[in-house]
Amino acid sequence: MSVTYLEAIRSAQGRALADDARVFIYGQDVGNFGGAFKATKNLAKEFPGRVLDAPLSEDAIMGVAIGAAIEGMRPIVEMQFADFSTCGFNQIVNQAATLYYRTEVACPIVVRLPFGGTPGAGPFHSQSMEAIYAHYPGTIVVTPATVEDAYTMLLEAVAIDDPVIFCEHKFLYNHLKAEKLPTDGLPVGRARIARPGRDATIVTYAAMVHESLAAAEELVEDGYEIEVVDLRSIKPLDTDTVLASVCRTGRLLCVGEAWPWGGVTAEVIARVSAEAFGMLDAPPQRLNARDTPVPYHPDLWGTHRPTAGTIADATRRLLEM
């Protein structure tokens, strides 16, 4: 018996619906069809009237969720693909994210964003949106990288009184398996040492955690012990865990699947440079996707984003600095 990352997301939603009458799910095709990725499979049947198909209207979907949250509900919104959340962007960043600061009324919504690249998905079904949403005040942005985190962080997201952008990586949906669902986990806001090491720190999140772990394994043959930090939450960012790791290793590589301009890797390097400059034995480095739309062909896509191989190469260069 094993459980996938996708099943963990479905189970967490089922449990949230069962535990809290304020929870409902709203999104395209989430009802009887069970969602484009089957993340809500059987939930409409199990919870009649609480898993609702929405029109193809991301702005309205978000607006409806916000209004329901104002009235005390705990909506979970599924954006069919993170890429399409740009059509609901205004409601997320200007309505949901400003509500508490402006009115002292909290906006407890969870926006599930199936994100990240998969082979053949192309420019409009592959994007990573976490940095965009983290840029706005008033949001919490999480990027679970494990089956366990997908489950516990989604449950915690529903309990959080603020808008949570839940970035679930599509590449991990069926690739990632665990023995069973966890009973507890680290809270949102805390990073995790995914692999301890002493020679360099790789700070990363979501699918890149697994590429980075594979790179670290490859570097064992070269005699290096690489520490991998899984951020888990993009906002808030667990600066303390990152700084502690960098202080141990003296070297930092940030890896992200998102585009290079600004973003999570830049933010991590800015914080480390400002707060632990003296602890660095080499200039902090980063590895991101290339600065083009995400290409369709698997061969191009595989080169567009960082992989275990390119991460290992970048780490070797960092170690030689």
Partner 1 sequence: MTDAGRELYLSAYRTMLLARVLEEKLASLYRGGKIKGGVFLGRGQEALSVSVGIHLRKGDIFAPLIRDQAGRMAFGDTVLDTLRTYLGSQLGSMRGRDGNIHRGRPKEGYYAMISHLGAMIPVVAGGLMARRFRGESGVVGATCLGDGGTSTGAFHEGLNAAAVEKLPLVVVVANNQYAYSTPTSRQFACADLLDRAVGYGVAGHKVDGTDLTACLEVVGRAVEAAREGAGPQLVVADLLRLVGHGEHDDASYVDAELRKSAVGRDCLLMAEAALVERGWATEVEIAGWHEAAETEVDETASRVLREPAPDPAEEEWVAIQSRRLDDRFAEV
Q: Which of these segments, 29-37, 70-78, 191-199, 283-291, binds partner 1 (CB under 8 A)? A: 70-78
Alpha-carbon distances, residue 73 vs 33, 103, 159, 166, 283 (angstroms) = 24, 17, 11, 18, 47
16 binds partner 1 (CB under 8 A): no
Q: In this structure, is the dihedral angle defined by the CA atoms of residues 107, 75, 92 and 165, taken in order, positive or negative?
A: positive
Running DSSP on this structure, what letter comes out for residue 277? Answer: G
CB of 316 to partner 1, least distance (A): 31
Closest approach, Cβ 157 to partner 1, in A, equals 11
Quote the least distance from Cβ 117 to partner 1, whole Å: 27
Tell me, rounded to whole angstroms, the distance of Cα 33 from its chain centroid: 25
Q: Which position among 68, 176, 206, 253 is part of the footprint of partner 1 (CB under 8 A)?
A: 68
Tell me phi and psi for residue 155, to 5 degrees.
-65, -40
Q: Residues 6 or more apart from 8 whose CB is under 8 A from it?
A: 147, 148, 150, 151, 154, 178, 181
Residue 112 touching partner 1 (CB under 8 A): no
Segment interacting with partner 1 (CB under 8 A) among 48-56, 166-174, 251-259, 284-292: 48-56
Q: Which two tokens stand for residue 145?
A: 């990288």
Q: Could you say whether residue 42 binds partner 1 (CB under 8 A)? A: no
Of 94-102, 110-118, 146-154, 173-181: span binding partner 1 (CB under 8 A): 94-102
Residue 278 touching partner 1 (CB under 8 A):
no
In this chain, which of 19, 33, 42, 103 binds partner 1, going by CB under 8 A? 103
Q: Has 304 been annotated as catalytic?
A: no
239 lies in the binding site for partner 1 (CB under 8 A): yes
What is the residue-wise DSSP string for 193-222? EEE--SSEEEEE-THHHHHHHHHHHHHHTT
Alpha-carbon torsion (263, 82, 242, 214), positive or negative: negative
**Least separation, in Å, of the C-beta of 266 and partner 1?**
14
* Single residue of 19, 32, 45, 57 touching partner 1 by CB under 8 A: 57
| Cα–Cα distance for residue pair 65/224, rounded to 1 Å | 49
**Which residues contact residue 223 at a Cβ distance below 8 angstroms, ignoring those fewer than 6 apart?**
none
Stretch that binds partner 1, among 33-41, 98-106, 198-206, 252-260 (CB under 8 A): 98-106
Terminal C-alpha separation, the chain: 46
Give the nearest distance from C-beta 242 to partner 1 in angstroms: 12
Note whether 71 binds partner 1 by CB under 8 A: yes
29, 59, 225, 313: which one binds partner 1 (CB under 8 A): 59
Query: What binding mask, one character per residue, do residues 147-166 give for partner 1 by CB under 8 A, x or -?
Result: -------------xxx----
Which range touches partner 1 (CB under 8 A), out of 136-144, 200-208, 277-285, 291-299? 136-144
Residues at the interface with partner 1 (CB under 8 A): 24, 50, 54-55, 57-73, 75, 87, 90-91, 94-95, 97-103, 105-106, 137-140, 160-162, 188-189, 235-237, 239, 271, 274-275
Residues known to be catalytic: 125
